[in-house]
A and B are shown apart, each in its own frame.
Chain A
């Protein structure tokens, strides 16, 4: 149900490692909870972030929530498509709905994140 090649956080972000860099987005569970997303606030390229620092905020009709950086790093690209089509987060949260790309500062921080099977159990726990 959740892609195996990603790491997950308790705040419902996913991170996909590609060499020294990583792509970050929010999970399918997160987009369903938020509902129709109408605005995504993106950071500046070059911004340095600590793990758990807010990297973006995602606003739906009903609520607004922060997206936290799963690991420390520096923003190398943002998904500017989201400015025009914020609903990509709803339609394709693991693909076209990616939010930012970062250069990872310390790969050992990835060890603290959940694998797909752990995240799936975590979400099941929230739903009951």
Chain B
């Protein structure tokens, strides 16, 4: 099992550790609900060093990333980040990811899911063969910390020479955090304002401890993977393997906004165009439970007593205080307000399609 460079710190802080995607990671420290609410109302610090970092570099890097992804990378200038996907020729997901434009047009960083890093690296290597680029998997060299929550800027600014007030959402800059070289982006996986901090330092503990020291008096908590999952689901951010897979297309996942058909050719374009013309048969929707019960992944979903689907993600949402989830439903049943049933243990309990995201912060940046 792989360990992040912060493993010892997590143990010192009393984290309960689990295996996730081949990594030993903290799942919770003080308690999932407290950690979740800290991020919504104050701040939380996550070790997400398990995430993958793949570099695409060379004269044709821009053309290569354009071909691999549905979003329009040409819209990025250096210092900008974009949410996009690696798509198959069938328009389904190899993974979802962030693309960082380091240098135009020749250096890009893909930040991918830990569980998919090796698969993604092999995929990118293979599909980029016809471009003049070099692909490097540097996942093990980078540590990544995420500082999330409304107080994130207030906590991080005294520790860095980067002017965070100037940094807009989905932008990044290079600089120092407590003297350590870092890339800092205004991004995250929680639905809150916040930053993701990448470093090649062999001792990211310095950064972790400085943020804990600065943030604790303001109510910051260290946060594990448990609350990371409930936070991202409230904000309807996708989890690969649950909500998006190599069997679901980008359109079915209701992510049409990351497809820019006019940008030129990319993997899966023809299939997605055809699907758009012909119309979808199913679509991912958000739901909440009407009856008392919590829908969880793989629970069966029924319409008129017939099993039509399975729950993708489902949990109790600690901030909203209700049971929510995501599910693919037949397209004629995806309207907001449509009702269906979830098989929860030996009962069929009522659920209703609702508008998403379930939780949306009031934006200031």
Binding site for B on A (CB under 8 A): 32, 35-36, 38-39, 57, 59-64, 90
Contacts and interface: CB of A to CB of B under 8 A. Distances in A.
Contacts of B28: 35
Interface in B177-192: none
From DSSP, what is the main secondary structure of chain B's interface residues? Answer: mixed
A49 to B, nearest CB: 17
A28 B31 CA distance: 14
Contacts of A64: 294, 296, 345
Interface string B31-71: 11100000000000000000000000000000000000000
Interface in B251-300: 292, 294, 296
B318 to A, nearest CB: 6
B32 A62 contact: yes
A61 B318 contact: yes
Given A36-B31, A36-B32, A39-B294, A62 B16 contact: no
A56 to B, nearest CB: 13
B31 A62 contact: no
Interface of B: 16, 28, 31-33, 226, 230, 292, 294, 296, 315-316, 318, 345
A60 B33 CA distance: 10
Contacts of A59: 294, 316
Contacts of B292: 39
A35 B31 CA distance: 7
B316 A61 contact: yes
Contacts of A32: 16
Interface centre among B28, B33, B226, B292 (most CB of A within 10 A): B33
A27 to B, nearest CB: 15
Nearest to A90: B31
B226 A35 contact: yes
Chain B CB within 10 A, most for which of A32, A59, A90: A59
Nearest to A32: B16
Contact of B315 (A39, A57, A62, A90): A62
B294 A35 contact: no
B296 A61 contact: no
